[in-house]
């Protein structure tokens, strides 16, 4: 019999406000958060608080699709705060090929984490949406109140609907029980420790890996699609800082967009050119227009973020310039190509 719907009648346990549990702690964003938390001085703006304990989960410790395993992990660590990053994540082509898996895995993980948080009386939970939750047909720029105004783009409707529902769940838990659950909406994330799978990765790690192989094998560097779509990219190490700010300062249930400004949209062609430059690739470049472009653009406004950060006195935060962040990411890939486990899977 499935354990999915078997919820125990009693609360899981009392929480410790000093424990911060991060689901998806081994992923791109989770590893950036680990890097930040363990490199910043204790008590600094983006470091640990004195006496605070951070726990980073990965899937071997707990399959969050299973509520019983999730409850056990909450019973073990008794977190007072949770950053919920764990998700089935992939680029355009992974989403297009597995809509149901992206829908179901994410629905189950989100339901387990939110329900276990509720049962164990977590004080604050920050979950992660994505700009693909927004309607396909909507006026730009995207702003927080437009999420539910129409269906998302068809290319990733499974993932998008599962992610949208987190906002509904947050409001339902708050409305009925007063729970303090919120969510953030990052744009396309990249950085050290990304998923470099040639088929399933997002565009930046996918193209870093393809450019590397093209250089090694002296073959053309093939970019999928026309190169014309525009995206706002956020460096994982900048995003990690914003997560700390949200955990400490952001008080709303409604989501908040975490993004560079609208003026910082970059075309896929510019991404490819920046990778070529960082990698020192000198061979031919081809655009495979038989492959999908996905959404042409989805510019998001960071007006709410900049206003609230200013009001909270967090004016020391600055986004890393795109080309510097990209160079750091390419350098990380080159330094870790042989050893990083995730890259080992990358030829699939
Ligand atoms: P990622 O690198 O693919 O990492 C996913 C994390 O989730 C890993 O730690 C993985 O653990 C964990 N996980 C996956 N399935 C699990 C399961 N069944 N049980 C427990 N843990 C599981 O993803 P990411 O890029 O860091 O994304 C973090 C968050 O940001 C996600 O919520 C994602 O939707 C959101 N986001 C990402 C992007 C982006 O461009 N990457 C953009 C917008 C929003 P293992 O590695 O141990 O399997
Ligand atoms: P999105 O931002 O959610 O659409 O996801 P992606 O990070 O997968 O970016 C997709 C965009 O990058 C589309 O316009 C693709 O055509 C383009 N692209 C070009 N080459 C690649 C590649 O190797 N992998 C991926 N995922 N996208 C690519």
Q: What is the pLDDT along the chain (348 residues), one digit of tens a residue?
A: 333 444 444 445 567 789 999 999 999 999 999 999 999 999 999 999 999 999 999 999 999 999 999 999 999 999 999 999 999 999 999 999 999 999 999 999 999 999 999 999 999 999 999 999 999 999 999 999 999 999 999 999 999 999 999 999 999 999 999 999 999 999 999 999 999 999 889 999 999 999 999 999 999 999 999 999 999 999 999 999 999 999 999 999 999 999 999 999 999 999 999 999 999 999 999 999 999 999 899 999 999 999 999 999 988 899 999 999 999 999 999 999 876 545 544 443
Does the global pTM surpass 0.85?
yes
CA nearest to 5, candidates 65, 74, 79, 72: 65
pLDDT of 316 reads 86
Nearest CA to ligand 2 atom 25: 203
Active-site residue, 337 included: no
Q: Report the top-level CATH class of 17-193+232-261+299-317.
A: alpha beta
Question: Does the beta carbon of 163 lie inside 6 Å of ligand 2?
Answer: no
Question: Does the beta carbon of 202 lie inside 6 Å of ligand 2?
Answer: yes
CA 256 to ligand 1 centroid distance, Å: 19
Q: Which ligand is nearest to the CA of 59?
A: 1
User: CA 348 to CA 336: how far, in whole Å?
Assistant: 18
Active-site choice (46, 77, 140, 159): 159
pLDDT of 16 reads 79
pLDDT of 7 reads 45
CA 127 to ligand 1 centroid distance, Å: 11
Nearest CA to ligand 2 atom 19: 224
Task: Identify any residues that bridge with 231 across adjacent strands, giving them in sequence order.
Answer: 266
CA 25 to ligand 1 centroid distance, Å: 8
Question: Does the beta carbon of 83 lie inside 6 Å of ligand 1?
Answer: no
Tell the burial category of 99 from Cβ atoms under 10 Å away from its Cβ (0-12, 13-18, 19+): middle
Q: Map tokens 């560097």 to a residue.
A: 221
pLDDT of 346 reads 42
Farthest-apart Cα atoms in the chain, separation: 63
Contacts 24+ apart (CB under 8 A), 4-8: 4/65, 4/66, 4/67, 4/108, 5/67, 6/67, 6/68, 7/67, 7/115, 7/119, 8/71, 8/119
Pocket test for ligand 2, best of 273, 294, 297, 300 (most atoms within 8 A of CB): 294
pLDDT of 342 reads 55
Q: Which ligand is nearest to the CA of 186?
A: 1
Q: Is the alpha carbon torsion for 139, 163, 332, 43 positive or negative? A: positive
Q: How many helices (H) and strands (E) does the chain have?
A: 11, 12
CA 184 to ligand 1 centroid distance, Å: 14
């Amino acid at each position: 019999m499935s354990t999915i719907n078997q919820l125990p009648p009693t609360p899981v346990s009392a929480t410790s406000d000093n424990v911060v549990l991060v689901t998806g702690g081994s992923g791109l964003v989770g590893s950036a958060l680990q890097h930040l938390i363990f490199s910043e001085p204790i008590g600094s703006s983006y470091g640990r608080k004195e006496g605070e304990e951070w726990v980073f989960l990965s899937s071997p410790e707990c399959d969050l699709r299973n509520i019983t395993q999730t409850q056990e992990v909450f019973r073990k660590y008794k977190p007072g705060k949770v950053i919920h990053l764990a998700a089935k994540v992939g680029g355009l082509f992974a989403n297009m090929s597995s809509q149901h898996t992206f829908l179901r895995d994410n629905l189950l993980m989100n339901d387990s984490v939110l329900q276990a948080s509720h049962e164990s009386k977590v004080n604050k939970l920050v979950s992660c949406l994505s700009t693909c939750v927004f309607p396909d047909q909507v006026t730009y720029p995207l702003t927080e109140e437009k999420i539910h105004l129409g269906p998302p783009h068809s290319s990733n409707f499974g993932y998008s609907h599962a992610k949208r529902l987190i906002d509904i769940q947050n409001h339902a838990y708050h409305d009925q029980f007063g729970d303090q659950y919120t969510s953030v909406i990052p744009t396309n994330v990249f950085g050290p420790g990304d998923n470099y799978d040639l088929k399933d990765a997002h565009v930046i790690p996918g193209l870093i890996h393809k450019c590397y192989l093209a250089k090694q094998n002296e073959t053309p560097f093939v970019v999928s699609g026309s190169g014309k779509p525009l995206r706002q990219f956020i460096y994982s190490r900048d995003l990690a800082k914003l997560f700390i700010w949200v955990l400490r300062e952001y008080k709303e249930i409604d989501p908040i967009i975490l993004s560079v400004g609208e003026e910082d949209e970059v075309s896929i062609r510019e991404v490819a050119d920046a990778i070529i430059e960082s990698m020192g690739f000198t061979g031919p470049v081809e655009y495979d227009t038989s492959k999908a472009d996905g959404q042409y653009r989805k510019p998001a406004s960071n007006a709410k973020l900049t206003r609230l950060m200013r009001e909270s006195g967090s004016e020391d935060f600055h986004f890393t310039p795109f080309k510097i962040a990209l160079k750091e990411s390419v350098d990380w890939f080159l330094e870790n190509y042989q050893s990083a486990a995730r890259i080992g899977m990358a030829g699939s």
